Amino acid sequence: MLAFTLRSLWRELASGELRVLLLGLIIGVGAFTSVALFNDRVHQAMTHQAGELLAADLLVQSSSPLPEAWKQSALGMGLQLAETTSFRSMTLAGERLQMAEVKAVSRDYPLRGRLLVAETSGHSEQRRQTPPESGSVWLERQLLDRLGLKPGDELQLGESGFRISGLILEEPDRGGSLFSIAPRLMMNPVDLPATGLLTVGSRAEYRLLLAGEADALEAFRGWIKPWLQAGQRLLGPRDSRRELTSALERAERFLGLASLVSLLLAAVAIAVAANRYARRHLDNTALLRCLGASRQLITRIFTGQLLLLGLAGSLIGLLFGYLVQHLLAALLAGMFIQQLPPPTLQPLLLGLLIGLVTLTGFALPPLLALRNTPPLRVLRREMPIPRLSRLAIYGPALAVLTGLLAWQAADWQLTLLVSLGLLAVMSLLTLVAWLMTRMLQRVSPSGGQPWRLGLANIARHPEVSVLQLVAVGLGMMVVLLLILIRTDLLDAWRATLPFEAPNHFLINVQADQLAPLEKFFRQQKQPAPVIYPMVRGRLHSLNGTPVDAESYSQPRAKQLIQREFNLSWMERMPTANRLVSGYWWSRTDERGWSVEKGIAQALGIQLGDRLVFEIAGQTVSAPVTSLRKVAWDSFEVNFFVIAPPGQLDVTQASYITAFFLPPGEEPFRSRLIEHFPNITDIDVGALMQRVRSIIDRVILSVQFVSLFTLLAGLVVLLAAVQSSLDERIHETAILRTLGALKGQIRVAIVTEFMVLGAIAGLLAALGASLIAALLADQLFGLSYQGNLWIWPVSLLSGMLLMGASGVLGVRSVLQKPPLQQIL
Amino acid sequence: MSQQKRAESHPIVRAEDLSKQVSSPDGPLDILQGVNFDLLQSETLAVVGASGSGKSTLLGLLAGLDLPSRGRVELNGQNLSSLDEDGRARLRRELLGFVFQSFHLLPSLTALENVMVPLELVGHSDARTLAEHWLQRVGLQPRRLHRPNQLSGGEQQRVAIARAFATSPQLLLADEPTGNLDQQTGRKVIDLLFELNREHRTTLILVTHDAELADQCSRRLELAEGRLLQTSGC
């Protein structure tokens, strides 16, 4: 049996019958695999880079010293270790006192990212992975300035004196909350006990930093979880700065979307080819039955053939995809700072599954339905073919494909949006195609003009017309969607972080400093920044019920409720915010709270709830009038809770602002601190650079992979048109016999295909615009304006593409004498 | 028709030294050699011979569906070899009707639409009414909206006959029109064909190896291995 399966497969290969199917498989699987492999590598590289903000791949944070056993266990799993201990303390130099964020770092700190120190002895900047020598400390310039010291001087920390041996220029995990940052002092842990600052019960944060292979990290994660107690938590790259995780999340979705689109194209390409294969094998099935093949044998033969074909085509596709992604990575190597990590196996496995599932899913059921074909059909073709409903034939394949989509995207929201969008467009395409054929049937545009013949043809092949419209429309829509993502959505993302985005925050500005600060900016020829008031308050009660940490079970909610919120008031909503529900106050005498959506979800706050905040001993009560989504990666000043002007007590406010300091304007910053010593300046330039580099990489990657996917998309479209041409070829030969002129046939075919192409193009533009708008709004939180040029471009390319394929498809028939094809 | 009268009339079909050679794995193969004959308006000609004797090739050459390797075909005095592909197609739709052994209806079209196609090709202003008339004539009016796969072989061939006569051709070519039909159905189809032929004074060329059918024709032309073996009535 296997021998027969192989022999017939070989015969078909030799006859060229399987060329279209193999091509569809190879290109489909190849396109998907290359895009998915490449995206996988870029994604890994970005996560790796995000780890730099933790100075590790993973860390354990604790409010008490970490058990020795944990360190031994991590070492046993082959991980690298480092430790830090941080706390706040006053530093003293002569008469001057200044709060500092003290951090004692062990050997090998940082495990990821770089610590850059300008040492007083060496003058030049140095990358360090060792702590300062015992008895000496490194400081940030701000602390040095405030204490009025210079490198080499001494300062007092607790009961010990230290020599300043270096200036900290860059520290990878300098993060935490933006508003609680005092300047950094870094020391050697061996000097800690002598300072007498850390006693039982003192507030300090102990961190165990870990780095190593993904498997080992995962193993450690699993091992440590049961041991974690209150006040201890595990942090990964995703738990670092909100700005960065927000950017990473979007990056992941963009890359996921690009892979998803290529998966869809692959599925369409293979499904079209599989459908053609099944149609061309209908007669073979009847013939095999006639020659005595049992139903079981037919099942085995076709299953065997399709599996072999699927395996061979998919493997070639995988190889092809692997080579292309390698080429892509090599092309982009110069543009990425670090080497891309090797890809994981998942995309390869997924590529193989897609090839096999789509091929067998779309080709096997219709063939197996024919097992019941009466052998007599060979003699009497008019005998009906047993048919299954479309749903029964393609339902299982579609279900498995949706599953694969979800697995690939690992993002149910994305999968749901894209699947629903596709379903809607498919239904719309089917409906329009059906309506059009019905309409044309009624109008019955007959008559001698060939274009009328073409129109009549659409109505006369309703099934083929509908199928063709759906396949081509879907293919075009996926390609357009990719173009929209490539241009509009990515541009919208880049626009959220323009070159002049604020890279410095000033906090602790006092009310009486507002006018002088503004004047100072003017004098220094810098644009005056927008200043926001800020008060700190604790959430006291929700709908009349007092809340505290015990009211919540989630760790994030507990953490949020324990700390003070930064509240502000303003007349107009800041630009990086978007109203999700409710309304923004129109009058300034209104009362209300506008709450950030994420925090509202975490704390179970809903629109209309009454919140009471306790601010400096007084309570302020108001209903929640709106929920906002905040683009944290915009680097604007953002607040969790905002009130209308007049609701909060002005006398308790300090002020905050963000401004853009162009490169090379560092002296401005020093002068600012000199003039306003109480104001804290936070430089987020480095963090912003990281977010920008993520955006740039994603844009670059998506642009490259989309070029490749576009090519694959074109092949799909041609295959879709081509496969419907099979029966046209026979018809064309008959028409020639009946005296149709070449020109007549050409005009008829061009009319028919161009009309179909135009409709497919318009519907594809509609579908792509809708899905892009939906994605932008729901998933990426970007404002998307829509794109007008896509309509004419889509219409024209649909017409041209289909018109040209129609003419090319019947070209060979028109050139051969009709006798060869008909008698 | 007397020899003298034949000589005076203008033939609708003239074949002169008609030959066709094709290449085969064993070298060039002559499938038709030096065939000569004339046919006048409303004459009926049976082309008979064994399988592979060149009957269908001859029919294809007469219809201009292919070109001869040597010799010429004239339809209504027009040399087919002097026309390009489109010129021959134009002549076909003005002059010829076709009936094939395997019907060759357009599978996606209804019976009515199949009959309408040649009318539409010549730009007939009321193709539908005429097509309906012809379907009625062949007795298939009730099944006009059925597609070929919903029709029996005999019905399909009747649709093909309606299609062939719809443009009122001067010459009708039929290639084994009963080859795919049972005897009884075949009989009916042939009767219909001859009846229409008489009504419309159409010239008929019929390829067949059914002797009885051949006897119904006014003339007979017998082929063997591509050569003209004998003619009768010519």
Spatial CB neighbours of A573, under 8 Å, sequence gap ≥ 6: A579, A584, A594, A628, A642
Among chain A residues, CA nearest to B56: A823
C-alpha to C-alpha distance for A746 and A453, rounded to whole angstroms: 11
| A466 lies in the same domain as A345 | no
A-chain residue closest to B54, CA distance: A823
**Domain check: are A621 and A666 in the same one?**
yes
Report yes or no on A17 lying in a domain.
Answer: yes
Prior bond of A237 cis (ω within 30°): no
Which of B73, B117, B143 is most worth mutating to test chain A (most A CB atoms within 10 A of its CB)?
B117
> Listing from the earlier edge strand, what are the strands of the sheet with B219-224?
B78-79, B70-75, B13-24, B27-39, B227-232, B219-224, B44-49, B203-207, B171-175, B96-99
A469: in domain: yes
CATH topology of domain B3-232: Rossmann fold (3.40.50)
Query: Nearest Cβ partner of A739 from B67, B90, B175?
Result: B90
In a domain, A99, yes or no: yes
Q: Is A807 on the interface with B (CB under 8 A)?
A: no
Cβ separation A741–B86 shorter than 8 A: yes
Asked if the structure places residue A422 within a domain, the reply is no
Q: What is the pLDDT of residue A684?
A: 78
Which residues have C-beta within 8 Å of that of residue A674, sequence separation ≥ 6?
Answer: A145
User: Quick check: is A679 in a domain?
Assistant: yes
Show the tokens assigned to A544.
């009349």
CB contact under 8 A, B121 and A740: yes
Residue A418 lies in a domain: no
Q: Does A817 touch chain B (CB under 8 A)?
A: yes
The CA radius of gyration of chain A, in Å to the nearest whole number, is 34
Q: Of A410, A444, A460, which marks where a domain is finished?
A: A410
Q: Calculate ∠ Cα A418-A420-A421, nearest 5°.
A: 60
**H or E element that contains A677:** none
Whether A459 and chain B come into contact, CB under 8 Å, resolves to: no
Backbone angles phi, psi at A578, to 5 degrees: -135, 130
The pTM (predicted TM-score) of the whole model is 0.68
The answer on A534 and A672 residing in a single domain is yes
Q: Which tokens belong to A291?
A: 């020659």
CB contacts, 8 Å: A453 with chain B = 120-121
Give CA–CA dist A229/A600, Å, rounded. 26
- Asked if B121 lies within 8 A of A744 by C-beta distance, the reply is yes
Domain membership of residue A421 (yes or no) is no
- Residues of chain B neighbouring A382 (CB-CB closer than 8 A): 148-153
Q: Are residues A350 and A394 in the same domain?
A: yes
Are A382 and B151 within 8 A, CB to CB?
A: yes
Contact A447 B151 (CB under 8 A): no
Nearest CB to B104: which of A460, A727, A822? A822
Alpha-carbon span A190 to A740, nearest angstrom:
97
The reply to whether A647 and A711 lie within a common domain is: no
Residues of A in contact with B117 (CB under 8 A): 735, 738
Query: How confident is the model at residue A381, as a pLDDT?
Result: 52
pLDDT (0 to 100) of residue A102: 92
Nearest to B113 among A381, A460, A820 (CB): A460
Which residues of chain A register pLDDT less than 70? 1-2, 15-17, 121-123, 175-181, 201, 238-242, 282-283, 286-293, 333-339, 370-391, 393, 443-449, 555, 588, 708, 715-717, 719-727, 820-823
Q: Which domain holds residue A493?
A: 428-498+691-823
Residue A444 contacts B where some CB pair is shorter than 8 Å: yes
A448 contacts B120? CB cut-off 8 A: yes
DSSP A329-396: HHHHGGGSSSPPPPP-SHHHHHHHHHHHHHHHHHHHHHHHHGGG--GGGGT-TTSPPP---HHHHHHH
Q: What is the ipTM metric for this complex?
A: 0.78
Task: Examine the domain organization and report whether A151 and A83 are in the same domain.
Answer: yes
Quick check: is A719 in a domain?
yes
Is residue A497 within 8 Å of A691, Cβ to Cβ? yes
The beta-carbon neighbor of B104 closest among A460, A727, A734 is A734
The overall longest dimension of chain A from CA atoms, in Å, is: 111
Would you call B123 and A448 a contact, using CB atoms and an 8 Å cutoff? Answer: yes
Query: Do A750 and A770 reside in the same domain of the chain?
Result: yes
Interface of A with B in 371-390 (CB under 8 A): 381-382
Kindly identify which residue of chain A lies nearest to residue B119, measuring between CA atoms.
A448
In this predicted structure, what is the pLDDT of residue B138? Answer: 87
pLDDT (tens digit, 9 = 90+) per residue, A497-542?
777 788 888 888 888 888 899 898 888 887 888 888 988 888 889 9
CA distance B154 to chain A (A): 11
- Minimum CA–CA partner of B127 in chain A: A447
Contact B92 A461 (CB under 8 A): no
Which residue type, as a one-letter code, is found at position A56?
Answer: A
B149 and A381 within 8 Å at the Cβ level: the answer is yes
Nearest 5°: the CA angle A415, A497, A707 is 50
E strands, A76-204, in order: 80-93, 96-105, 115-119, 125-128, 136-139, 154-157, 160-170, 184-187
β-bridge mates for residue A80, sequence order:
A211
How many Cβ atoms from other residues are within 10 Å of residue A32's Cβ? 33
Query: What's the pLDDT at B197?
Result: 85
**b/e map of A194-223 (b: 16 or more CB within 10 Å)?**
ebebbeeeeebbbbbbbbbeeebbebbeee
Say yes or no: A823 and A770 in one domain. Answer: yes
| Helix H or strand E encompassing A33 | helix A19-50
Residue in B57, B65, B127 closest to A818 by CB? B65
CA distance A820 to chain B (A): 8
Best of B59, B83, B85 to disrupt the A interface by mutation (most A CBs within 10 Å)?
A: B85
Q: Which residues of A touch B152 (CB under 8 A)?
A: 382
Residues in chain A: 823
Chain B CB within 8 Å of residue A692 CB: no
Q: Please tell me the distance in Å from B113's CA to the nearest CA on chain A.
A: 8
Find out whether A74 and A207 touch, Cβ atoms under 8 Å: no
Q: A463: distance to nearest CA of chain B, Å?
A: 9
- Answer yes or no: do A221 and A291 share one domain: no
Using a CB-CB distance cutoff of 8 angstroms, which residues of chain A are in contact with residue B121? 448, 453, 735, 738-740, 744
CB-defined contacts A:B, below 8 A: 101
Q: A530 and A676 share a domain? A: yes
Q: Tell me, what's the pLDDT at B2?
A: 52
Q: How many domains does chain A have?
A: 4
Contact A736 B123 (CB under 8 A): no
What would the two tokens of residue A757 be? 């192409």
Residue A154: its pLDDT value, please?
Answer: 92
- Contact list in A for residue B90 (CB cut-off 8 A) is 739, 741
| Chain B residue nearest residue A448, CA to CA | B123
Indicate the domain borders of chain B.
3-232
Instruction: Give yes or no for A6 touching B (CB within 8 A).
Output: no
Domain stops at, among A659, A683, A707: A683
Is A737 close to B98, i.e. CB distance below 8 A?
yes
Residue B175 is nearest to which of A452, A735, A823, comparing CB atoms? A823
Which among B104, B108, B127 has CB closest to A446? B127
Pick the last residue of a domain from A683, A714, A746: A683
pLDDT tens for each residue of chain B, 234 residues long: 555 555 566 799 999 999 999 888 888 889 899 999 999 988 999 999 888 888 888 988 998 888 899 999 999 999 999 988 788 888 888 888 888 888 888 877 789 988 988 887 777 888 889 999 999 988 889 999 888 888 888 899 889 989 998 988 999 999 888 877 788 888 888 888 888 888 888 999 999 888 888 888 999 999 988 898 877 664
How near does any CA of chain A get to the CA of B211, in Å?
22
Kindly report the nearest CA distance between residue B40 and chain A, in angstroms.
22
DSSP for A291-313?
TT--HHHHHHHHHHHHHHHHHHH
* CB-based contact B98 A464, cutoff 8 Å: no
Identify which of B85, B128, B163 has the shortest CB distance to residue A742. Answer: B85
Interface test with B, best of A737, A741, A746, A749 (most B CBs within 10 A): A737
**Tokens standing for A16?**
């060229």
- Nearest-CA residue of chain A relative to B126? A447
